[in-house]
Amino acid sequence: MPELAPAYDPSKVEDRLYRQWTERGDYQANPASAQPAFSIVIPPPNVTGILTLGHVLNNTIQDILARRARLLGQEVLWLPGTDHAGIATQTVVERALKKEGKIKHRDDLGREEFLKQVWQWKEKHGGIIIQQLKKLGASCDWSRERFTMDPAYSACVQQVFVDLHKKGLIYRGRRMVNWCPVSRTALSDEEVIMKEQRGHLWHFRVAVQGEKDRFLTIATTRPETIPGDTAIAVHPKDPRYASLIGKFALRPLPPEQPESLRRIPIVGDEHVEMEFGTGVLKVTPAHDPADFAIGQRHQLPAIEVIDESGHMNAAAGEKLAGLDRIKARATAAEQLQELGCLEKEEAYTNQVGYSERADVPVEPRLSEQWFLKYPSAEKSREVIASGKMRFFPDRWTKVYDHWMGNLQDWCISRQLWWGHRIPVWYRAKEIRCQVDSPGEGWTQDPDVLDTWFSSWLWPFATMGWPAKTPELKKFYPTTDLVTGPDIIFFWVARMIMAGFEYMGELPFRNVYFTGLIRDAKGRKLSKSLGNSPDPLDLISKYGADGLRFGLLRIAPQGVDIRYDEKQIEEGRNFANKLWNACRFRQQQGPCDSQADPTKHPRTPFSDHLLAELDALEKELEKMYANYEFSQIAQALYGFVWDEFCARFIETAKASG
RNA sequence: GCGCGCUUAGCUCAGGGGUAGAGCGGCUGCUUUACACGCAGUUGGUCGGAGGUUCAAAUCCUUCAGCGCGCACCA
């Protein structure tokens, strides 16, 4: 055996060993094994994504769990795969095509041609993240890699839709939804991110009809929606205004409209806060969820004034028509000024919903969509509340419970092309919900399903469901799930419900939530900020072990992580320390691997070391049970560095 | 507004009733025959503020403040 180099060079070791392990089939799961099962399904990364430090953390933890289970003699399945990530992927491809000047909008290509482009993109970029996971050393069973758009997986998705429709849990309805004017699709409530927005509160006056010199002053942040107002609401018990309920007022915009069209009723509704603003609310049922509800309570008409691209339409009046809604806001305020009914304009900060992907304000919009009433919700809530399934850290149970206690129907249809097509067919007035076309003359619903409507089936759809496969029998329910708390509603909660509904059992026993990785200043890592280091660069600089160990050591349970490259350097140093401990041993002459350790001559030093090792093992076992990964890393670091190297080896040297 | 989390050495974080800890950094030495990705030393903190419980509080309770996050139909 050649003498080891003085410094550890991971590049000479990692690829070779990984190839050896995979070629030997070390990570292949055997459903026929008699060993107890241990299984994890990977949170599938976006198929066109690239590896981030978040993935590194997440997958390193899964790798630790999987490798430890193998050491304990369990039959391990770590099932990998990717997610088609509907809106994210479609947005990326659309943007790229626009940049190349090929299209202005996806309509320029048409559905079929556009999808061809997305598949091409997927072929080109689809394998990257899988290769990167291998580079990281992930011990997945690659022979079972899945993709949410695989034919078999797609069939599961469609079947589940048809089934839930049959059960009456999926229905179509014309409702107020979150609309993204850039992607031009409906979104679920979870895809809307509330952001603080600095804007204005405009106070304007409207005349009450039949009451001489009686005016109402209304405060609004959205004057551009005035043409869509169909009522004015006050609190029924408000002494200032209650007497006006039932009378009418004149909506100021659009001014060119005859008064008869601008006449809107004053209604009494308890939703109005007397203390806020002037205590008078304008009601725009077509463009605000709360106003929509008021509209329903008072049978108000809804006038749409904003179109699907976020521009004002003809109903908004000649001055506003065609303007972007944001521009129209200022213009509408000017109009009020010109009409002499603007009383004041004050700076105002409020919370506005933004589209997660396109990062623009969401437009509440009335449209026809498919909705799902969540199945198995009670059981799913109970399983966490009772502690039968556990979250680590435990505090997420409260967050989960709160969400589960306030479930809103899930808007699952998307006006996109990349995804699973809704299995509903139309012919004239007939509608049918089934997987295959009923035949001649039927056209399929053009919409696709929310990406999460496919990923919520992940734990069993990847194992061959609906067939009763040996994989499902052996490895379902899975043991652990490792994911970020940011997708607790998107994914975790929904998987639990789907698991109960279709497998009659929970999908996993424990969920470990990682922290979010931030930069040294505490900001989220993001491409646009340029503070997101490329893990592949770090691997070539410090080695995969250095990266993994360094990151793990600063990743305490449930707390956000402040990333610092220095820590990765320490990870590398630790790998080097181990290397050199071996190098030292090697230099002491040959080592008999068959030797009986109980017959080896002992010294006070070796006894001490063995006692420490014993204590370490007990400690580690406890820490594994509690998923305390950073403390595990810390304990190993301390033992190797201080006990083994600094004390044991040094005393060994001294005693010759 | 409601809820959750965080605040401990210059930095990143452990600890969770009984003498304040680690790594990094700083400083001082080391071409010591495993490792300078190293070794030997050393510096450094009224544990966010204020009250309380206790023989004893960084730790438990109350309260305040700052930061972060989640939820929420105050325009």
For A401-451, write each residue's pLDDT tens digit.
Answer: 999 998 999 999 999 999 999 999 999 899 999 999 998 899 999 999 999
Is-contact A400 A488, C-beta < 8 A? yes
List Cα–Cα distances, A357 to A6, A461, A549, in angstroms: 49, 27, 32
Can you read off the two tokens belonging to residue A117?
């482009």
Cβ A7 to strand B below 7 Å: yes
Cβ A462 to strand B below 7 Å: no
Question: CB neighbours (10 Å) of residue A225?
Answer: 26
Q: How far apart are CA A192 and CA A613, in angstroms?
A: 51
> What SS3 class is residue A22?
helix
Residues of chain A with CATH 3.40.50.620: 10-162+450-552
What CATH superfamily classification does A10-162+450-552 receive? HUPs (3.40.50.620)
Q: Which residues, listed in sequence order, are joined to residue A440 by a DSSP beta bridge?
A: none
On the 0-12 / 13-18 / 19+ scale of CB atoms within 10 A, A555 is buried
pLDDT digits (tens, 9 = 90+) for A444-482: 999 999 999 999 999 999 999 999 999 999 999 999 999
Can you read off the two tokens belonging to residue A384?
């966490």
Residue A529 scores a pLDDT above 70: no
Looking at residue A2, its pLDDT comes to: 66
Residue A656 scores a pLDDT above 70: no
Cβ A311 to strand B below 7 Å: no
Within residues 537-566 of protein chain A, the ones with CB less than 7 A from nucleic strand B are 554, 556, 558-562, 564, 566
Reading phi first (left if > 0) and then psi (alpha if -120 to 50, else beta), residue A25 is in left
Cβ A277 to strand B below 7 Å: yes
Supply the CATH classification number for the domain A190-355. 3.90.740.10
pLDDT digits (tens, 9 = 90+) for A102-156: 787 777 888 999 999 999 999 888 889 999 999 999 999 999 999 999 999 999 9
Is-contact A215 A205, C-beta < 8 A? yes
B62 C1' – A552 CA distance, angstroms? 37
Give me the mean pLDDT over the A255-279 stretch.
90
How does DSSP classify residue A642?
I
B54 C1' – A625 CA distance, angstroms? 34
Residue A162 scores a pLDDT above 60: yes
Q: How far apart are CA A186 and CA A415, in angstroms?
A: 7
Q: How far apart are CA A628 and CA A559, in angstroms?
A: 12
Q: How far apart are CA A86 and CA A353, in angstroms?
A: 21
List Cα–Cα distances, A435 to A113, A156, A173, A423, A451, in angstroms: 23, 10, 21, 5, 18
pLDDT digits (tens, 9 = 90+) for A202-240: 999 999 988 888 889 999 999 999 999 999 999 999 999
Give me the mean pLDDT over the A302-322 stretch.
92
Bases in strand B with any atom closer than 7 Å to a protein CB? 3-6, 11-15, 22-24, 34-40, 67-68, 70-75
User: How far does CA A252 lie from the centroid of its chain?
Assistant: 43
**Which amino acid is present at A651?**
T
Nucleotide minimizing C1' to CA distance for residue A520? B12
**Which amino acid is present at A355?**
S
**Which amino acid is present at A205?**
R
**Which amino acid is present at A187?**
L
B37 C1' – A16 CA distance, angstroms? 22
Q: How far apart are CA A48 and CA A617, in angstroms?
A: 41
List Cα–Cα distances, A603 to A462, A650, A651, in angstroms: 54, 14, 11
Within residues 281-300 of protein chain A, the ones with CB less than 7 A from nucleic strand B are 281-282, 289-290, 293
Residue-averaged pLDDT of chain A: 90
Question: CB neighbours (10 Å) of residue A598?
Answer: 6
Cβ A190 to strand B below 7 Å: yes
Contacts of A561 (CB under 8 A, 6+ apart): A57, A515, A516, A517, A518, A551, A554, A555
Looking at residue A107, its pLDDT comes to: 79
List Cα–Cα distances, A525 to A520, A521, A530, A541, A548, in angstroms: 10, 10, 8, 20, 18
| Protein residue closest to B14, using CA and C1' | A631
Is-contact A251 A264, C-beta < 8 A? yes
Residue A1 scores a pLDDT above 60: no
A634 φ, ψ (degrees, to nearest 5)? -65, -40
Q: Which residues, listed in sequence order, are joined to residue A432 by a DSSP beta bridge?
A: A425
Three-state secondary structure of A189-225: HHHEEEEEEEEEEEEEEEEECCCCCCEEEEEECCHHH
pLDDT digits (tens, 9 = 90+) for A478-502: 999 999 888 999 999 999 999 999 9
Can you read off the two tokens belonging to residue A337?
């000024």
Contacts of A558 (CB under 8 A, 6+ apart): A392, A393, A395, A513, A515
